[in-house]
Chains A and B, each alone.
Chain A
Amino acid sequence: MTVATEIRAGEAGHSGAEIRSDLHVRIEPRERGGMDIELESRVKPYYGDSIRRQAEEVLEALGVRHARVQIHDEGALPFVIAARIEASVRRAGLGEGTRVLPDRMTLPEPSGRDRIRRSRLYVPGSEPKYFVNAALHGADGVILDLEDSVHASEKDAARLLVRNALRAVDFLQCERMVRINQLPLGLEDLDEIVPESPDLILIPKVEDPGQIIEAGQRIAAIKGDYGITRPVWLMPILESALGIENAFALAQASDKIVALTIGLEDYTADLGVVKTATGAESLFARQRVVNAAHAARVQAIDSVFGDVGDMEGLRAWGLNSRALGFEGMGCVHPLQIPVIHEAFAPASAEIERARKIVAAYNEAQAKGLGVVSLGSKMIDAPVVQRALKLMARALAMGLV
């Protein structure tokens, strides 16, 4: 299909005294005259040549032959430079269908269905300065967010940044998660993201199992196209009264679902109630999610605690959340991570008791006894099961 398109300028990214680790690119395509690249950079003495070379390569790969390009760089890393140039080219109506991908790190081991998911750190998909150190702080997962933290006008550019980050950034032990936009926009996110093998996709604002099925089919199709065999797990986010009502059906909508979570900002807005620090207004919804998740044999994961300054409030919320049956929650700042890990860790007395029960169980097994007893007390099978589960979890958290 050839359509006569009017030549227009494209811009992407940010620059200025307050901006770090990003860049602004403006491209003005022209009919002739070749490439004219103007570069300003605060790291010019160190990487000026490298930035220019990279810009030339990316533009050539995108098929841009004649253009005036202005780059104002604030110390952006190469994967960010590539994403911003690509975004500016696409916004200029060029480069359709071509992706310019940075070198890929060796992919980490695929993520397990039942891995520990105590904490997941949200990173805004349009703020590249946060990407490269996000995994250092020890969260179980990092979420590169394309949804609420990204302005509607930046969705296309954030998608490219997140795609490149999945290739170029080492997320260490963290599960590599992406929160896509609500469908149908989220399907376009999947087209760009899934080829880079994220470990898990969060699907926001689901109310109908059909939405999960649609996303699941799209993921399966892309994986097929790219020959990807490793799993891409799903975590639906329930954020409305209807979503909560359908919790169990949603939890069962795909065998790729490993966890169910809840978004309280939207949920309380849907109900027209105020979100409080103690969360009485959402107790029913949270319990509903816990129960549906357990019924479907997936993890129940709590919402985020938004007040970064209130560590005591966070601790109380986390302890309560664990008591309700959640296995983890979201983080909006790295300082929340250790507090959450502590809140979701079994207490040492619990571990000690579980250890004794497991020892008694092992002893009974060895002796071929059907009945497990600890001291003078008989231990029921479900108690043994719970102790085994708790010990496995404590082991995974490095507590035993």
Chain B
Amino acid sequence: MNIAERSELVANAVGRVVPETVNGRPQVPYMGVGKYRPLDGKAMPAVRTAADYPTNGDKRVPDLETALRKCGLRDGSVVSSHHHLRDGDRVALMALETAARVGVKNLMWFPSASFPSQKSAIELMEAGVIEHIEGSMNGPLGDYCTQGKMRGMGVLRSHGGRWQAIQDGEVHIDIAVIAAPTADPFGNCDGSHGKSACGSLGFALADSIYADHVIVVTDNLVPFPCVPWQIQGNNVDYVVEVESIGDPSKIVSGTTQITRSPDRLRIAEFVARFLRDAGIMRTGFSFQAGAGGIALAFVSYLKQMMKQAGVKARFVRGGSTKYLVELLEEGLTDYILDGQTFDLDGVRSMASNPRHVATSPFTSYNYHGKGNFASMVDAVVLGATEVDANFNANVVTHSDGRLLHGIGGWQNCLAAGCTILAVPSFRDRIPVIVDDVTTLCGPGELIDVVVTERGIAINPRRQDLIDAVKGSKLPIRPLRDIKNEVERICGGKPQRPRRGERPVAVVKWVDGTVLDTVWQIP
């Protein structure tokens, strides 16, 4: 039986063809930015009673199998995990492999993101233990999905969209398994200490609140209280102690590297100059940039310019790295509001500096919150695999439709005051600026500036930005102009790769509506 094959297809508000039903659930096609407002109450887990839990606060059980059995693991359960240990995580597979030993089938795995080291989930899908994955898939898992081998349909959500989906009941988590670098027997968890320290545990917060059952797995058990507690033990059912929750060398990178490529450095410098010349870089401003080579170089250029101009930020949003930590320690920003921590300097800083604050997708990105931080950030610098001449962008698939990245916070960040995509104009011979993006992830109305090595294009909707940089020395050009130049260099427009007929995954917008479809690779 294949759920996907039974689904009717419909065109959404931007003309993308999307399935009406995904994994048996009816869907709302994308309606436009800020248009969808569900009115129901928020989903909640069952009411619990303290009398049912040990009065001494000791929730330890001998092993993960016991914990899963006690949580009522059964065929078809939704089991969630989180990627704060990134490619070093061992807990998600530990839970899924334990479930396989217990003998249950057809689980839905609901990770906040999956990583290449978890590719053995393919074997669990082949064996029928996992029915499908809702969460980012790349590398071997992405190929498995786009080749149409997964039984259910993939659902790709932003970090904020994952919280939204939990809150409006689209995904009900039966069992959340949370990897904790430090925890106490009551279930309080902290990510900043312990041999597997990773910084923020924000991705697990929603699950700890909304899942029916919560299991904490730790390799650094401390006596109560574990302080600070990023996850509250009051939400936790069982605590399991294990030898190791992950491979520390893959949890954080010891050093994050600025790109050495002169073309990419040029892009990074353009971005920093744009913020300066447009007047966005001023005392009290805020920005967010990721941990990629261009983003790191951008921070380094911006730092020099901030020093020269005597300008200080109020806050910067992480993914923190040593470059953001330097800004904080040199007094160039008052705060780091950190969603995930990419390197050892970030982990050390969060553990020791009260101005380096752990955040969650709730504070930063959630559509069902009473506002969130993303729209309060003055400027954000993001990547993309493709951008069209109307500034619509793709971040999840290669140009040939294979899954490449998760959405992460990318869609949520588009709400910033000035959204900048920093991209090369072509990679090898493949144009990045195209007629039509393969997969739509970000509506062009939210993308303000595209910075390439061949010039900077400002969205015509942002006359204010166009006016702000008039008279600067920046190479401002129409996006179409850059596109034409790239097509000339590459020897004409690329062929459109053949697309399959069967949907294998959907891309959700931040409000839970269906923005686009990922199709089976023929």
Main secondary structure of the interface of A (DSSP, over half): loop
Is B54 positioned at the interface, with any CB of A under 8 Å from its CB? no
B380 CB to closest chain A CB, in angstroms?
Answer: 25
Check B262 against A46 for contact (C-beta < 8 Å).
Answer: no
The segment from A73-81, A147-155, A219-227, A317-325 found at the interface with B is: A73-81
The segment from B70-78, B196-204, B442-450, B485-493 found at the interface with A is: B485-493
Check B495 against A137 for contact (C-beta < 8 Å).
Answer: no
Is B42 positioned at the interface, with any CB of A under 8 Å from its CB? no
With A and B bound together, what is the CA distance between A43 and B491 in angstroms?
Answer: 12
Contacts of B492 in A (CB 8 A): 50
**What are 24 sample pairs from A and B whose C-beta atoms fall under 8 A apart?**
A20-B428, A21-B429, A42-B428, A43-B428, A43-B429, A45-B495, A45-B497, A45-B498, A47-B490, A47-B494, A47-B495, A49-B495, A50-B492, A74-B428, A75-B427, A75-B430, A76-B429, A77-B429, A77-B489, A77-B491, A133-B262, A136-B454, A137-B262, A333-B262
Check A136 against B497 for contact (C-beta < 8 Å).
Answer: no
CB within 8 Å for A75 and B428 given contacts A46-B495, A47-B494, A335-B265: yes
Interface positions, chain B 417-432, Cβ under 8 Å from A, are: 427-430
Check B495 against A75 for contact (C-beta < 8 Å).
Answer: no
Interface positions, chain A 47-78, Cβ under 8 Å from B, are: 47-50, 54, 74-78
Contacts of B266 in A (CB 8 A): 136-137
Contacts of B490 in A (CB 8 A): 47, 77-78
Is B320 positioned at the interface, with any CB of A under 8 Å from its CB? no
CB within 8 Å for A78 and B495 given contacts A136-B454, A137-B266: no
Closest to B427 in A: A75
With A and B bound together, what is the CA distance between A67 and B491 in angstroms?
Answer: 25
Q: A46-B399, A50-B492 are in contact. List 10 more A-B contacts (CB 8 A).
A: A42-B428, A43-B429, A46-B430, A47-B490, A48-B495, A75-B428, A75-B429, A77-B489, A77-B491, A333-B262
Contacts of B498 in A (CB 8 A): 45
With A and B bound together, what is the CA distance between A72 and B265 in angstroms?
Answer: 30
Main secondary structure of the interface of B (DSSP, over half): loop
Contacts of B491 in A (CB 8 A): 47, 50, 54, 77-78
Is A399 positioned at the interface, with any CB of B under 8 Å from its CB? no
Is B481 positioned at the interface, with any CB of A under 8 Å from its CB? no
- Picked from B429, B453, B494, the residue with its CB within 8 Å of the CB of A133 is B453
Interface positions, chain A 1-47, Cβ under 8 Å from B, are: 20-21, 42-43, 45-47
Is B5 positioned at the interface, with any CB of A under 8 Å from its CB? no
Most buried by B among A49, A74, A75, A133: A133
Contacts of A78 in B (CB 8 A): 490-491
Is A334 positioned at the interface, with any CB of B under 8 Å from its CB? yes
B389 CB to closest chain A CB, in angstroms?
Answer: 18
Contacts of A274 in B (CB 8 A): none
Contacts of A133 in B (CB 8 A): 262-263, 453
Contacts of A76 in B (CB 8 A): 429
Is B329 positioned at the interface, with any CB of A under 8 Å from its CB? no
Is A132 positioned at the interface, with any CB of B under 8 Å from its CB? yes
Closest to A102 in B: B491
Contacts of B429 in A (CB 8 A): 21, 43, 46-47, 75-77
Closest to A78 in B: B491
Check B489 against A132 for contact (C-beta < 8 Å).
Answer: yes
Is B170 positioned at the interface, with any CB of A under 8 Å from its CB? no
With A and B bound together, what is the CA distance between A45 and B490 in angstroms?
Answer: 14
Closest to A168 in B: B489
Interface positions, chain A 324-359, Cβ under 8 Å from B, are: 333-335
B107 CB to closest chain A CB, in angstroms?
Answer: 34
With A and B bound together, what is the CA distance between A132 and B490 in angstroms?
Answer: 10
Interface positions, chain B 381-420, Cβ under 8 Å from A, are: 399-400
Contacts of A42 in B (CB 8 A): 428
Contacts of A137 in B (CB 8 A): 262, 266
Contacts of A46 in B (CB 8 A): 399-400, 429-430, 494-495, 497
With A and B bound together, what is the CA distance between A136 and B489 in angstroms?
Answer: 14
With A and B bound together, what is the CA distance between A133 and B491 in angstroms?
Answer: 16
Contacts of A50 in B (CB 8 A): 491-492, 495
Contacts of A74 in B (CB 8 A): 428
Closest to B494 in A: A46
Closest to A134 in B: B262
With A and B bound together, what is the CA distance between A136 and B452 in angstroms?
Answer: 11
With A and B bound together, what is the CA distance between A55 and B400 in angstroms?
Answer: 23
B377 CB to closest chain A CB, in angstroms?
Answer: 30
Closest to B398 in A: A45
Closest to A308 in B: B260
Interface positions, chain A 62-114, Cβ under 8 Å from B, are: 74-78
Closest to B425 in A: A133
CB within 8 Å for A136 and B453 given contacts A45-B400, A77-B490: yes
Closest to B263 in A: A133
With A and B bound together, what is the CA distance between A46 and B494 in angstroms?
Answer: 5
Interface 1/0 per residue, B464-501 and A, CB below 8 Å: 00000000000000000000000001111011011000
With A and B bound together, what is the CA distance between A314 and B55 in angstroms?
Answer: 70
Check A335 against B262 for contact (C-beta < 8 Å).
Answer: yes
